[in-house]
Structure 1
Amino acid sequence: MRGVLMMNFYQFMKKARGDMSLWELSKRTGITVQQLSNYEKGKSAATIEKAAAICRALNVTFTIGS
């Protein structure tokens, strides 16, 4: 289940940032461009804190649970 949730997050992240560059997202989150790229490619998993920071930078709600 975790893999499916993470895959959906990465697909969401790429779609939600739209025309925003990884560089701009990096400036807004403090996460390196390389790490953000790895998240989008599914090469590494974001911590809850970093996922929340990405969501804040993209102006979307981040909730845990049902």
Structure 2
Amino acid sequence: MKIRLDRTLCDGFGACAAHAPGYFSLDDWGYASLEGDGVVDPADRDGVLRALFDCPAHAIIRMSEPES
């Protein structure tokens, strides 16, 4: 799975960093940044999906599933 973060939509709730700290960090004002290239390791999929579903601003976008 690959994700993207639209920082223009982020309202700084921080749920993403709580659920998937290896993928999201928060700046000094609480706004999220995506760490890395957005490719999600299968072992981290549940946490990243929880971050995506819990984002009230819908700033995390699911781009694709991995190719078989």
Shorter-chain TM-score bucket reads 0.3 to 0.5
Richer in strand (by share) = 2
TM-score (norm 2): 0.36
Structure with the bigger RCO (C-alpha within 8 Å, sep 6+) is: 2
Richer in helix (by share) = 1
